[in-house]
């Protein structure tokens, strides 16, 4: 995220160094901000100030949600690999929640509140261990503890970061029914990309071999934009294009040239059309392609139609949230 004490920002082309000045001269049409192209206009709607080029030179901030203590699991491994790969600032967040069931027996409420206070104290004591994880890797970050509803707190906190990282449990527990658990509701409520790490993911690498599941929707465009820092560092980027001329399930962006747009950000990608037989239900085909090509990250839009529709009728997000062992960077 961009943090500054200046009253305004501007990009000037008088030198190759980006400088700050008054905001009056900022224009999305300035060649300093956005290379001219026939398809850039609809991505400006996602970055109306045109400051994305400026943003790439700033520190990227990641927020990792940890569901258990001490810090552990696939999401922690992924966050450390990612932060090191892209030179990001990494904060850890543990949420001490108070389940609604705690209030069903009034006499037990004081005891429940004491337990919450103790959990918060124990969680804050993890600050030193967090630094022990970061410092040997040359990383910087803070340890944060919050009290309240997990989803509401994560949605609120993630607004101050570039990317939220969460771990998703197996198919038989955790975020079930799919679409209405903690991870799914956070993705649906957040205005940031969310890196979802399946707990069974090996996470030996992250962002080296990336598959973009593209359908021209707002959700897939937001996911790609959130993934830009990773895509610039990727060794291989493959776009699986499942967009259709007339798609009744999603609101498609006009005149979309995803590879051309990626090229303006110095990202080279190979494009493949999704097999026509897989268009109606692309989830299994995408996962098969990811496994066959040793992909370590899938970038895709999430919940392109309502969560209830996906739960009843099935859908790509629901299928991959249940079955994928490959990390997914998603956005809604």
**Residue 134: pLDDT over 70:** yes
For the chain, helix (H) and strand (E) counts, in that order, are: 12, 10
Q: What is the pLDDT of residue 191?
A: 86
pLDDT exceeding 90 applies to what percent of the chain? 47
pLDDT exceeding 70 applies to what percent of the chain? 68
Q: What is the pLDDT of residue 102?
A: 62
* pLDDT one-digit tens code per residue, 67-119: 999 999 999 999 999 999 999 999 999 999 876 666 666 766 777 788 889 99
**Residue 306: pLDDT over 60:** no
Q: What pTM was computed for the model? A: 0.76
CB 39 within 8 A of CB 260: yes
* pLDDT one-digit tens code per residue, 9-63: 332 323 333 222 333 333 334 333 333 333 333 344 445 444 444 445 578 999 9
Residues whose CB falls within 8 Å of the CB of residue 280, separated by 6 or more in sequence, listed in order? none
Domains and CATH numbers, the chain: 61-198 (3.40.50.620), 209-331 (3.40.50.620)
From residue 311, alpha-carbon distances to 108, 300, 315, 317, 321 in Å are 36, 18, 8, 10, 12
**In the block, which residue shows the tokens 């104290």?**
121
């Amino acid at each position: 995220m961009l943090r500054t004490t200046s009253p305004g920002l501007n990009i000037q082309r008088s030198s190759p160094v980006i400088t700050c000045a008054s905001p009056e001269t900022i224009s999305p049409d300035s060649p300093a901000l956005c290379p001219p192209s026939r398809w850039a206009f609809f991505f400006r709607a996602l970055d109306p100030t045109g400051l994305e080029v400026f943003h790439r030179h700033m520190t990227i901030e990641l927020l990792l949600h940890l569901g258990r203590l001490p810090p552990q699991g696939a999401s922690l491994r992924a966050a450390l690999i990612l932060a090191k790969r892209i030179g990001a600032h990494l904060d850890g967040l543990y949420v001490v929640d108070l389940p609604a069931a705690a209030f069903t027996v009034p006499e037990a409420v004081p005891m429940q509140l004491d337990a919450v206070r103790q959990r918060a104290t124990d969680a804050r004591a993890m600050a030193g261990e967090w630094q022990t994880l970061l410092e040997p890797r040359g990383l910087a970050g803070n340890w944060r503890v919050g009290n309240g509803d997990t989803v509401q707190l994560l949605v609120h906190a993630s607004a101050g970061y570039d990317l939220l990282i969460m771990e998703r449990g197996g198919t038989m527990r955790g975020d079930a029914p799919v679409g209405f658990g903690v991870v799914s509701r956070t993705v649906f409520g957040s205005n940031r990309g969310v890196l979802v790490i399946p707990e069974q993911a090996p996470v030996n690498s992250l962002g080296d071999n990336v598959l973009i599941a593209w359908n021209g929707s707002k959700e897939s465009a937001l996911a790609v934009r959130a993934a830009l820092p990773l895509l610039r560092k990727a060794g291989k980027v493959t776009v699986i294009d499942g967009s259709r001329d007339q798609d009744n399930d999603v609101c498609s962006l006009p005149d979309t040239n995803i590879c051309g747009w990626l090229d303006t950000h110095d990202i080279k990608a190979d494009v493949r059309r999704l097999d026509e037989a897989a268009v109606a239900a692309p989830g299994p085909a995408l996962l098969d392609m990811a496994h066959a090509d040793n992909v370590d990250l899938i970038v895709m839009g999430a919940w392109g139609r309502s969560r209830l529709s996906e739960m009843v009728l099935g859908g790509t997000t629901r299928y991959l949230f249940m079955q994928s062992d490959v990390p997914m960077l998603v956005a809604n």
